[in-house]
Amino acid sequence: MKTTSMSAPEMNASSKIILPTSEAFVTVRELKKQFDVSKPWLERTIERAPKQFLKAVDGVTFDIRKGETFALVGESGSGKSTVARMVVGLLPVSGGEVMVDGISMTATADSAAREKLRRRIQMIFQDPYASLNPRWRVSDIIAEPIKAFNLLSSPKDITDRVGELLTLVGLSPLDGVKYPHQFSGGQRQRVAIARALASDAEFIVCDEPTSALDVSVQAQILNLMRDLQDKMGLTYLFISHNLAVVRHMASTIGVMYLGRLAEVSPAKEMFRAPRHPYTRMLLDAVPDLGMTGRARTPVQGEIPSPINPPSGCTFHPRCPLVNDRCRAENPLPIAGVACHAVEEGRIGEMQSRIRA
C-alpha cells in the first residue's frame, strides 16, 4: 500500500539510506584501548616516575558486512580479545568508535537506541567450563537472555523456546534439566551457542570458541556455527590464533600485531598471496598436515612487550625487510596493508605453499 503511494524519487532516497547499513553491519573506527599499568601512587611519587600506559589496542579500523565472518588472528598479546570485548561493550573504549547497524555503541548520546541494540549482540567465550554458571540448570541458562530482555512472558512459551534452541544446536530438549557439569566440553559450547541465540542475536562475537576443544569436537562446533550462519544469516566476529580454523570460517581476515592491524584482506586473497611480512611469517610457521618432512626457516624473535613497543613499525625488529624508515615511521594502512616495504614495492611475490 505504501509503495504505491510513494513517488519514484522518494524510493530512491530511502534505498540510498539503507545502502550503507547493508554494506557494513559493524563498523569499527580507530578503536583504542589503554591500560594504566603505573606503579602505585606513593612509589611513583618517591621515584618521580611518570605514569605508564599499555596500549593494548592502538587504532584498529575494520568493517563487517551482514552475514559475513570477519576473523581477527594474531599471537597472544596482540590485542585481539581486547578488541572483541570492546566491540560487545564489556570493556569501555579509550578512543575510537564502534557502530553496529548504524547505532554507535560508544557515544553516550543514543543510549536508548543502544539498549535495543544490546539484544542483537551476543558473545561466545573460549572456555565453556567457565562461561556457564555451574549451579544453574541448562534450561535456566538459556532462558536468561529471554527473560532479561522480556522477549517472552509465559513460562510455557519460554520452555518451548528453550527446547527449540537446544534442538537447533544439536542437543535434546530433555537436556534442559541437566547441569553444565553433566556435559562434555563440546556440548557445553553448544549450550553457550544456544544462549547466544536465545535473544535472536544477529551479531555474535566468538572469542576462540574452539581453542579448548579436541579436534573432532572442534569440527562439530565449527560445522554447527557455519550451518547456523547459513540458516539465520548471522554475522560473526571470530577471534582465533589458529590460522587453519580461520581459513575454514572467515570471509575476511584481519591480522593483528601488537595492537595494530598489519593486514586486512579477503580470506582467499590472504592465503593465496599474503602481503604483509608478518602474515607471511605466520603462514609459514603453522605446522600443517601436508608438510611432512618440510624444512622450514623459522623467524627469530618473539612478540615484544606492549608496554615498551618498538619505534616506527612495531614489527621491525623481526622483519627481514626492515630499513630506516620502518624504524622511524609507523606505517599507515594502504589498501589493507600497513607496511612500508609493501608500499615501496620492496617486497616480492611470496611463493605461497598453499594451493588456492
Partner 1 sequence: MTQPVLSVRNLQVEFVTRRGILRAIDGVSFDIAPGEVLGVVGESGAGKSLTGTAIIGLIDPPGRIAGGEVLLQGKRIDNLDKESLRKIRGKRIGMIFQDPLTSLNPLFKVSEQLVETIQTHSDMNGSQARQRAIDLLTEVGIPAPEKRIDGYPHEFSGGMRQRVVIALALAAEPELIIADEPTTALDVSVQAQIITLLKKLCRERGTAVMLVTHDMGVIAETADRVAVMYAGRIAEIGPVREVVQHARHPYAKGLMGAIPTLESASERLVQIPGSMPRLTAIPAGCAFNPRCGEVFARCHAERPLPIRVGQSEVACWLYDKGKEAAA
The footprint of partner 1 (CB under 8 A) covers 75-76, 184, 186-187, 214-220, 222-223, 226, 241-245, 247-248, 267-268, 271, 281-294, 296, 298-300, 302-303, 353-355
**Minimum distance, C-beta of residue 77 to partner 1, in the bound complex (Å):** 9
Looking at beta carbons only, is 156 or 355 nearer to partner 1? Answer: 355
Looking at beta carbons only, is 11 or 285 nearer to partner 1? Answer: 285
Distance CA 137, CA 143 (A): 10
Looking at beta carbons only, is 122 or 240 nearer to partner 1? Answer: 240
334: its cell numbers: 594502504
**Minimum distance, C-beta of residue 312 to partner 1, in the bound complex (Å):** 20
Count Cα neighbours of 58 within 13 Å in the Cβ-side half-sphere.
Answer: 22
Q: Looking at beta carbons, which pairs linking 15-21 to residues 24 or more positions away fall under 8 Å?
A: 20/102, 21/101, 21/102
Distance CA 87, CA 97 (A): 9
268: its cell numbers: 582467499
Looking at beta carbons only, is 218 or 265 nearer to partner 1? Answer: 218
Count of other CB atoms within 10 angstroms of residue 300: 8
**Minimum distance, C-beta of residue 153 to partner 1, in the bound complex (Å):** 37
**Minimum distance, C-beta of residue 58 to partner 1, in the bound complex (Å):** 20
- What Å distances lie between residue 107 and 16, 112, 126, CA to CA? 24, 11, 28
Nearest to 193 by CA among 158, 164, 228, 151: 228
Whose cell is 584482506? That residue is 265
Nearest to 87 by CA among 135, 6, 31: 31
**Minimum distance, C-beta of residue 252 to partner 1, in the bound complex (Å):** 14
Nearest to 194 by CA among 216, 239, 161: 161
Looking at beta carbons only, is 7 or 292 nearer to partner 1? Answer: 292
**Minimum distance, C-beta of residue 249 to partner 1, in the bound complex (Å):** 8
DSSP-derived secondary structure for 5-59: HS-HHHHHHHHHHHHHHHH-SEEEEEEEEEEE-PPPHHHHHHHTPPP-EEEEEEE
Looking at beta carbons only, is 11 or 244 nearer to partner 1? Answer: 244
**Minimum distance, C-beta of residue 46 to partner 1, in the bound complex (Å):** 24
Looking at beta carbons only, is 18 or 286 nearer to partner 1? Answer: 286
**Minimum distance, C-beta of residue 158 to partner 1, in the bound complex (Å):** 29
Spell out where 137-190 has E strands: none
Looking at beta carbons only, is 56 or 117 nearer to partner 1? Answer: 56
